[in-house]
């Protein structure tokens, strides 16, 4: 989380279409599995905007600046291809247990 924007009821995240792919706009670009009440509303090149799925007021204290939001992108192939490796996380969601290099080309 990098910003709070109460006037537009949004959170600014440090992930845009270069990190998660621009596919799936009509489906919120994917989902935030740990926060089903939130939805990605817009992805810019390097930042995204998250709002509440039902338009209710954002609880900013539940999402302080610096906190992490896990994103499950709409299209994993398009998202993964934009990176050189993928980190596999432990079920705690924080500990990297493996890194997989992305194959570029066929």
pLDDT at res. 37: 96
Alpha-helix residue ranges (DSSP H) falling in 1-106: 17-20, 76-80
pLDDT at res. 82: 82
Looking at residue 102, the DSSP 8-state letter turns out to be: P
CB 2 within 8 A of CB 68: no
pLDDT at res. 51: 97
CB 38 within 8 A of CB 50: yes
pLDDT at res. 31: 93
- Residue pLDDT tens, the chain, 106 long: 899 999 999 999 999 988 888 889 988 999 999 999 999 999 999 999 999 999 999 999 999 999 999 899 898 888 888 889 999 999 998 899 999 998 887 6
- How far apart (Å, rounded) are the C-alpha atoms in residues 71 and 1? 12
Total domains present in the chain = 1
Q: Is residue 60 part of a domain?
A: yes
Q: What is the CATH number of the domain that holds 8?
A: 2.40.37.20
Residue range(s) defining the domain that contains residue 12: 3-101
- How far apart (Å, rounded) are the C-alpha atoms in residues 27 and 105? 28
CB 45 within 8 A of CB 80: no
User: pTM (2 decimals)?
Assistant: 0.82
pLDDT at res. 105: 75
Q: Is residue 106 part of a domain?
A: no
pLDDT at res. 15: 92
- How far apart (Å, rounded) are the C-alpha atoms in residues 49 and 9? 10
pLDDT at res. 78: 81
CB 79 within 8 A of CB 40: no
């Amino acid at each position: 989380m990098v910003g709070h924007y109460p006037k537009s009821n949004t959170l600014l995240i440090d992930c845009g279409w270069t990190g998660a792919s621009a596919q799936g706009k009509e489906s919120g670009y994917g989902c935030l599995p740990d926060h089903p009440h939130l939805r990605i509303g817009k992805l810019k090149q390097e930042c995204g905007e998250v709002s509440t799925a039902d338009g209710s007021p954002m609880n900013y204290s539940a999402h302080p600046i610096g906190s992490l939001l896990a994103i499950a992108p709409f299209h994993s192939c398009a998202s993964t291809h934009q990176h050189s490796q993928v980190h596999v996380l432990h079920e705690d969601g924080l500990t990297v247990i493996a890194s997989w290099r992305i194959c570029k080309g066929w």
